[in-house]
C-alpha cells in the first residue's frame, strides 16, 4: 500500500468491521492481527518496547480478506468427555471431513462424537468459524479413541418400586451418580443394587461401566426415579359409616403401619374397621416399577349407642321419646331427620287390615360420628275410615254432616275437634275461597284413628254486581238465580227476571240486599247492598207545539225527548226542533215523549206525551221550477222559499206566481215548501237548483270580413244597449245587420226554459270606411257596391290581392301598422286621414266636405249623419 503524508512505514489494518477496514499509518512499525476473534492485539496498541505513533486513520469499504488463526492447544478430557483449549464461542467441529460443521456446545461436550464400543477411533476436525471480520480458520485434526468398555444395557439397570432401589443385573465394574453432573461413585464389587432416595421431585440416576486407563467409559444408562405419588383421596363417611374412594390397588394399616392389608373392595365397611375408634393408615401399594404412595391417615370414630325410651301415642299419632338429631325409617334404607321431641307418624300407619309397619329410630350420623344402630317400633293398622256418602257438606245449612264417632279439623293440619255426643253435623264458616276440611273416625288407646276424609268446602261467591240504574229506575244486572230483601235481610224474595222493578221496591227510598241464592251444592253468595232513591218525579208541564216554526216550547236543558220511548235524546236549549220528527203527509201521528232526564242519584221523571200530526202536502216538482227566461222560481202564493238549506223562510206574496232569484257564479240550491198553519206543519221541502250564469260567448269583430264571427243560433245580440235582443241566424252577424255607423254590440247566449242567458260580451264595431273615388248608393240603410262582383261575406273582394286580415288594403303602399299611409302627410293618430298636403287635423280635405268623425264618408255636400247618402 502506498504511504501517505511522508510516513516511513506502510499502513496496517487497525479495525475490521463488516465490510469496512480502518487503516492506521504508523511511523515506526507495522501492526499485525493477533489471535482469531480479536480485532488487534491489545486493542491496537503495539509492543510497549516499540515506539510508534498514528499519523492518520482512513476507513474504506471492503470485504474480509484474512483468515482467523487456527486454534491451538486443543486437548481431549477423557473423564469429562470434553474438548479443552481455544475460544469455545467460535469453535466448530466436523466428523465428516469438513462436509458439515457444528458449533461446539458451551459445555464443550464431545460425548456425541465418541465412537461407540467396538468401533475404530475417530478423527474430528476443529476450526474457528468465520465472522464479519475474519474468514474461518484452517481446521485442526483431533483424535478421539473409541469406547473400550462394553455397552451397558438399559434392561440391566431398572428401578424396583417394592425395594425402592435400582437393581443392577450386570457383572462388570459399574459406577453411578445422582443427577447428571455430580461425581461418579463406584459400585462395590458384588453389590446388586443401588439404594435411592425418593424426594419431593423426580431425580435422574446415571450408571455406566468403568473404563480402562486412558480410554472412555461405556455409554450412560439413565434411570428416572419419580416422586412418591400423593396419598390416596380416601375419606371416612359418617353418614354411611365406611371409608369411600377406596380401590383394590390400595392397602391399609390399623397398627400405625406395622402391618398392611390389601383392600378387597372399593369400600371399607364397619366390619373391616371394628366398632371402636381407630387410626387408619391408607396408601397406594407399591409395584415392581412404582414405589408406594404417601400415606393418608384417617381417624375412624366408634359406634353410637342405640336410642331408648321410645313410645307410641295412638290418639295423637306420634312416637314419643325422640329428639332432634335422630332419624326415622320405615324401610331401613331411606332415613328422615327428626327435628322435634315427638315424631308424627300419621303417614306411616298402615291402613285397615294391612300388615304391621316396623318403624326404625336411630341417632343420625354427624360430620365426625356414624349413625347408631336402630331401635324398632311396631305400628299396627288403623280403624276403618268413614264412608264418603255419610260425610258431606250441606250448602243449604252450611254444615258438614257426620256422626259423633268422628272428629274434624279445618285444613290438613292443626288440632282435631271431636264431634259432640249425638251431634249429626258441625257448622262451618265459609270464606272467600274454597277450603279443605278433614273428617276421620277417632282412634282408641291401642288403635290409630282412621284415614282422614277430605271435604272441599266451597268459598262464598262474590256478591252479584247488581246496581241501581237511574235511567231505567230499576236494579239491573240480576237474574232468576238471585234473591233480594227490602227489610234488612229478614225476608228474601226470589228475582223473577233480569231486573228488580220500581213496583217491587216501592216509591220511598230503600236499602236493598241482593245475593245469589243457595243451591244443594253451592252456598249463597256474599250480599250486595244497593241504595235506591225515591221514585220518579211528575211529568214536565207547559209544553206547547209551534206548528209554524216546527218547535216545542216549554222545554229546558236537562230534559230528554223520544219518539219511541226507548231511545232518548238530551235537550240542550229552551226550544226543541222537531222538523225531523214530524210525520209525512197522510202518515200516522207521532207520539213525542218529554221527560226530565235521570241523574246519577235520581231516576228520570214520568213522561209527558205530545201528538205530532202529519205535514201538509208537498208541492209538485212540475209546478215549482226555475225559469231561465224570467230568471225566477215558478211557484204559488201558498208557499214559502229560502236560499240554501238553512236560514229564514220568505212567504210568497198573495197572487204572486214566481219569486225572483239572483244568479251567481255557481249553482245555488233554493228550497220551497207549502206554508204550515196554526195546527198543521209545513210540507216537506222541495229543492230547486238555480243554475249559474255561464260566461259570455267568445264572439269577436272580424275587420277583414267586416262582421262579428264565432256566433251560433243559440246566441242573441242587441244594438241598443240590451233593450231589445235579436236572435242570431247563422255563424256571423254581418255589416248589413249592424249598419254602416260605429256601433256597440251586446252578444250573449240566449236563455232557455232551464238556464238563464249568459254573461254579455260587449263588442265595439267601427263605422264602415268607403273610398273617396267610389260611387256609392244608399238604399235601405246599407251601402251597395254595384260595380263589385257578388262575394261571400267572409271573403275578400275579388279585385283585391289577398291580404292579412289585420293589414291595410293592397292598393295602399306598405306601411307600418302604426304609420300613416305614405301618400298622406303625417298626422296625429287621432286625426282623420287627408289627401291634401299640409292639411290640419281639423281641416277638411280639399275635395271633401267637412264630415263628422262618426259619419260615413260622402262625396255629397254635408248631410246629417242619420240621412241617406246622396249622389
pLDDT class for 64, splitting at 50, 70, 90?
Answer: low
Cell, residue 18: 463488516
462 pLDDT band, cuts 50/70/90, is very high
Question: φ, ψ for residue 42 (rounded to 5)?
Answer: 55, 35
Cell of 332: 331401613
Cell numbers for 295, please give them. 400415606
The residue ranges of DSSP E strands in 133-237, in sequence order, are 140-144, 157-160, 165-168, 174-178, 185-186, 193-195, 203-209, 220-225, 235-237
pLDDT at 65 (0 to 100): 59
At 28-40, the pLDDT tens digits run 433 333 333 433 3
389 φ/ψ angles, rounded to the nearest 5 degrees: -65, -25
- In this prediction, residues 149-154 reach a mean pLDDT of 83
Task: Please measure the distance between the N-terminal and C-terminal CA atoms of the chain and give it in whole angstroms.
Answer: 150
Burial of 456 (0-12, 13-18, 19+ CB in 10 A): exposed
Nearest Cα to Cα of residue 447 among 528, 508, 379: 379
Give the confidence band of 152 by pLDDT, cuts at 50, 70, 90.
Answer: confident
pLDDT at 447: 85
C-alpha cell at 751: 236563455
Averaged pLDDT score across all residues of the chain: 81
In which region does residue 520 sit, left (phi positive, over 0), alpha (psi from -120 to 50) or beta (all else)?
alpha
DSSP 418-440: EPPTT--EEE----SS-EEEEEE
246: burial class by Cβ within 10 Å (0-12, 13-18, 19+)? buried
The DSSP annotation for 305-354 comes to: PPP---EEETTTTEEES--BTEEEESSSSS-EE--SSEEE-TTTS--TTP
Question: Which residue reads 461405556 in cell numbers?
Answer: 218
Q: Considering only 6-15, 117-126, 544-553, which range has the smallest mean pLDDT?
A: 6-15
Is residue 182 very low, low, confident or very high in pLDDT (cuts 50, 70, 90)?
confident
DSSP letter, residue 108: -
The more confident residue out of 572 and 16 is 572
- Range from 334-343, 371-380, 707-716 carrying the lowest mean pLDDT: 371-380
Whether 515 has a pLDDT exceeding 90, the answer reads: yes
Q: Which residues, in sequence order, are bridge partners of residue 493?
A: 484
Interatomic CA distance for residues 232 and 250, integer angstroms: 8
Nearest to 730 by CA among 698, 753, 707: 707
* Each residue's pLDDT tens digit, 300-336: 898 888 999 999 998 888 999 999 999 999 999 999 9
What's the pLDDT band for 871 if we cut at 50, 70, 90?
A: very low
- In this prediction, residues 196-208 reach a mean pLDDT of 88
User: Parallel, antiparallel, or unpaired: how do β-strands 296-300 and 278-284 relate?
Assistant: antiparallel
Task: Reply yes or no on whether the pLDDT at 148 is more than 80.
Answer: no
Place of cell 246599407: 782
141-157: b (≥16 Cβ within 10 Å) or e: ebebbebbbeebeeeeb
- C-alpha–C-alpha distance, residues 211 and 152, integer Å: 12
* Residue that is written with C-alpha cell 207547559 in the block: 542
Q: Are strands 318-320 and 342-344 parallel, antiparallel or unpaired?
A: antiparallel
Residue 149 phi, psi (nearest 5): -70, 140
| Mean pLDDT lowest among 282-286, 296-300, 534-538 | 534-538
CB atoms within 10 A of CB 510: 14
CB atoms within 10 A of CB 648: 7
Q: Quick check: 728 pLDDT over 90?
A: yes
The x, y and z cell numbers of residue 284, run together, are 397406594
Phi/psi at 815 (5° precision): -130, 165
Phi, psi of 633 (to 5 degrees): -95, 125
Report which secondary-structure segment, H or E, holds 735.
helix 735-738
Closest CA to 266 of 277, 280, 250, 281: 250
Under the banding of pLDDT at 50, 70 and 90, the label for residue 155 is confident
What would the pLDDT profile of 393-411 be if each residue is shown by its tens digit?
988 889 999 999 999 999 9
Residue 482 pLDDT class (50, 70, 90 cuts): very high
Q: Are 329 and 343 in contact (CB under 8 A)?
A: no
pLDDT of residue 63: 52
228: CB partners within 8 A, 6+ apart: 198, 291, 292, 293, 294
The answer to whether residues 250 and 243 touch, using CB atoms and an 8 Å cutoff, is no
What whole-number distance in Å separates Cα of residue 465 and Cα of residue 576?
A: 37
For 234-260, write each residue's pLDDT tens digit: 998 888 888 989 899 999 999 988 999
* 3-state secondary structure (DSSP) of residue 493: strand
| HSE-up (13 A, CA, CB side) for residue 474 | 12
- Please, which residues have CB within 8 angstroms of residue 315's CB and are 6 or more apart in sequence? 442, 443, 444, 445, 449
Secondary structure (3-state) at 623:
helix
Q: Three-state SS for 633?
A: strand
In the predicted structure, residue 14 carries a pLDDT above the cut 70: no
> What are the angstrom distances between the C-alpha of 684 and each of 618, 639, 671, 715?
5, 11, 10, 39
The answer for residues whose C-beta is within 8 angstroms of residue 729's C-beta and 6 or more apart is 713
**CA 55, CA 32: separation in Å to the nearest integer?**
17
Across residues 358-369, what is the average pLDDT?
91
Half-sphere exposure of 334 (CA within 13 A, CB side): 2
Q: State the pLDDT at residue 556.
A: 95
- Average pLDDT rounded to a whole number, residues 56-85: 75
Q: Compute φ and ψ for 502, nearest 5 degrees.
A: -60, -35
Q: What percent of the chain has pLDDT over 90?
A: 46
Distance CA 196, CA 465 (A): 98
Q: Is there a contact between 460 and 525 (Cβ–Cβ < 8 Å)?
A: yes
What pLDDT does residue 331 have? 94
- Listed as own residue / partner, the contacts of 274-277 with beta carbons closer than 8 Å and 24 or more positions apart are 275/302, 275/303, 276/302, 277/301, 277/302
Tell me what the mean pLDDT of segment 676-691 comes to: 88
Helices (H) then strands (E): counts for the chain: 3, 64
pLDDT digits (tens, 9 = 90+) for 766-782: 998 765 544 444 444 44
The pLDDT of residue 378: 92
What gap in Å lies between CA 412 and CA 375, rounded to an integer?
A: 30
pLDDT at 698: 94
Residue 165 confidence (pLDDT) above 80: yes
Residue 299 host element (H or E):
strand 296-300
Flag whether pLDDT at 837 surpasses 80: no
Is pLDDT at 366 greater than 70 in this prediction? yes
Amino acid at each position: 500500500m502506498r504511504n501517505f503524508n511522508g510516513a516511513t512505514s506502510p499502513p496496517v489494518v487497525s479495525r475490521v468491521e463488516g465490510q469496512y477496514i480502518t487503516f492506521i499509518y504508523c511511523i515506526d512499525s507495522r501492526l499485525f492481527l493477533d489471535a482469531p476473534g480479536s480485532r488487534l492485539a491489545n486493542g491496537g496498541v503495539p509492543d510497549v518496547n516499540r515506539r510508534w505513533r498514528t499519523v492518520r486513520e482512513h476507513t474504506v469499504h471492503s470485504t474480509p480478506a484474512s483468515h482467523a488463526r487456527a486454534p491451538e492447544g486443543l486437548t481431549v478430557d477423557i473423564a469429562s468427555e470434553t474438548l479443552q483449549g481455544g475460544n469455545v464461542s467460535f469453535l466448530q467441529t466436523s466428523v465428516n471431513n469438513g462436509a458439515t460443521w457444528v458449533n461446539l456446545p458451551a459445555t464443550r461436550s464431545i460425548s456425541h462424537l465418541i465412537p461407540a464400543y467396538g468401533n475404530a477411533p475417530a478423527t474430528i476436525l476443529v476450526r474457528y468459524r468465520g465472522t464479519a471480520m475474519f474468514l474461518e480458520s484452517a481446521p485442526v485434526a483431533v483424535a478421539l479413541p473409541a469406547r473400550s468398555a462394553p455397552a451397558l444395557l438399559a434392561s440391566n439397570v431398572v428401578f424396583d418400586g417394592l425395594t425402592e432401589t435400582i437393581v443392577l443385573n450386570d457383572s462388570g465394574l459399574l459406577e453411578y451418580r445422582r443427577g447428571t453432573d455430580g461425581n461418579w461413585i463406584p459400585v462395590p464389587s458384588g453389590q446388586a443394587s443401588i439404594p435411592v432416595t425418593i424426594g419431593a421431585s423426580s431425580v435422574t440416576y446415571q450408571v455406566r461401566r468403568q473404563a480402562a486407563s486412558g480410554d472412555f467409559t461405556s455409554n450412560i444408562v439413565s434411570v428416572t426415579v419419580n416422586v412418591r405419588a400423593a396419598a390416596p383421596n380416601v375419606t371416612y363417611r359418617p353418614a354411611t359409616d365406611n371409608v369411600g374412594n377406596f380401590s383394590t390397588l390400595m392397602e391399609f394399616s390399623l397398627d400405625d403401619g406395622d402391618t398392611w392389608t390389601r383392600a378387597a373392595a372399593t369400600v371399607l365397611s364397619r366390619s373391616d374397621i371394628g366398632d371402636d375408634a381407630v387410626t387408619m393408615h391408607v396408601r397406594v401399594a407399591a409395584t415392581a416399577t412404582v414405589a408406594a404412595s404417601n400415606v393418608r391417615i384417617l381417624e375412624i370414630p366408634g359406634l353410637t349407642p342405640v336410642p331408648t325410651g321410645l313410645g307410641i301415642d295412638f290418639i295423637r299419632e306420634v312416637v314419643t321419646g325422640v329428639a332432634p338429631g335422630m332419624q326415622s325409617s320405615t324401610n331401613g334404607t331411606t332415613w328422615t331427620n327428626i327435628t322435634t321431641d315427638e315424631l308424627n307418624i300419621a303417614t306411616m300407619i298402615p291402613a285397615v287390615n294391612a300388615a304391621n309397619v316396623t318403624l326404625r329410630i336411630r341417632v343420625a350420623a354427624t360430620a365426625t360420628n356414624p349413625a347408631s344402630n336402630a331401635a324398632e317400633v311396631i305400628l299396627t293398622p288403623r280403624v276403618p275410615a268413614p264412608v264418603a256418602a255419610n260425610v258431606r257438606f250441606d250448602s243449604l245449612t252450611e254444615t258438614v254432616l257426620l256422626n259423633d264417632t268422628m272428629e274434624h279439623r279445618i285444613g290438613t293440619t292443626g288440632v282435631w275437634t271431636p264431634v259432640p255426643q249425638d251431634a249429626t253435623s258441625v257448622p262451618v264458616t265459609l270464606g272467600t275461597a274454597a277450603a279443605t276440611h278433614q273428617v276421620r273416625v277417632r282412634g282408641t288407646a291401642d288403635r290409630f284413628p282412621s284415614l282422614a276424609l277430605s271435604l272441599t268446602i266451597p268459598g262464598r261467591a262474590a256478591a252479584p254486581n247488581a246496581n241501581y240504574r237511574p235511567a231505567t229506575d230499576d236494579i239491573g244486572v240480576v237474574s232468576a238465580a238471585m234473591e233480594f230483601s227490602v227489610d234488612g235481610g229478614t225476608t228474601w224474595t226470589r228475582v223473577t227476571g233480569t231486573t228488580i222493578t220500581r213496583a217491587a221496591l216501592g216509591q220511598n227510598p230503600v236499602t236493598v240486599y241482593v245475593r245469589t241464592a243457595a243451591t244443594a251444592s253451592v252456598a249463597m253468595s256474599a250480599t250486595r247492598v244497593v241504595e235506591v232513591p225515591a221514585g220518579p218525579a211528575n211529568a214536565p208541564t207547559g209544553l206547547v207545539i209551534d206548528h209554524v216554526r216546527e218547535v216545542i216550547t216549554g222545554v229546558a236543558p236537562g230534559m230528554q225527548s223520544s219518539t219511541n220511548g226507548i231511545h232518548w235524546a238530551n235537550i240542550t236549549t229552551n226550544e226543541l226542533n222537531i222538523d225531523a220528527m214530524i210525520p209525512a203527509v197522510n202518515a200516522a201521528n207521532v207520539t213525542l215523549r218529554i221527560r226530565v232526564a235521570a241523574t246519577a242519584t235520581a231516576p228520570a221523571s214520568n213522561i209527558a206525551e205530545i201528538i205530532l200530526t202529519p205535514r201538509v202536502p208537498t208541492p209538485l216538482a212540475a209546478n215549482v221550477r226555475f225559469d231561465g227566461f224570467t230568471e225566477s222560481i215558478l211557484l204559488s202564493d201558498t208557499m214559502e222559499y229560502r236560499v240554501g238549506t238553512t236560514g229564514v223562510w220568505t212567504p210568497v206574496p198573495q197572487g204572486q206566481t214566481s219569486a225572483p232569484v239572483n244568479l251567481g257564479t255557481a249553482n245555488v240550491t233554493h228550497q220551497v215548501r207549502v206554508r204550515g198553519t196554526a195546527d198543521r206543519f209545513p210540507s216537506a221541502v222541495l229543492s230547486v237548483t238555480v243554475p249559474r250564469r255561464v260566461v259570455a260567448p267568445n264572439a269577436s269583430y272580424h275587420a277583414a270580413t267586416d262582421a262579428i264571427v264565432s256566433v251560433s243560433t243559440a246566441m242573441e245580440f242587441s244594438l241598443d244597449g240590451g233593450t231589445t235582443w235579436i236572435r242570431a241566424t247563422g255563424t256571423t252577424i254581418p255589416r248589413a245587420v249592424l249598419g254602416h255607423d260605429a256601433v256597440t254590440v251586446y252578444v250573449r247566449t240566449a236563455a232557455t226554459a232551464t238556464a238563464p242567458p249568459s254573461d254579455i260580451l260587449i263588442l265595439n264595431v267601427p263605422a264602415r270606411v268607403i273610398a273617396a273615388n267610389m260611387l256609392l248608393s244608399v238604399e235601405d240603410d246599407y251601402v251597395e257596391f254595384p260595380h263589385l262582383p257578388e262575394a261571400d261575406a267572409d271573403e275578400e273582394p275579388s279585385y283585391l290581392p289577398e291580404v292579412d286580415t289585420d293589414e291595410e288594403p293592397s292598393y295602399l303602399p306598405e306601411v307600418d301598422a302604426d304609420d300613416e299611409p305614405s301618400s298622406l302627410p303625417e298626422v296625429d293618430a287621432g286625426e282623420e286621414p287627408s289627401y291634401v298636403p299640409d292639411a290640419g287635423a281639423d281641416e277638411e280635405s280639399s275635395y271633401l266636405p267637412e264630415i263628422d268623425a262618426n259619419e260615413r264618408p260622402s262625396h255629397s255636400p254635408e248631410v246629417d249623419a242619420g240621412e241617406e247618402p246622396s249622389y
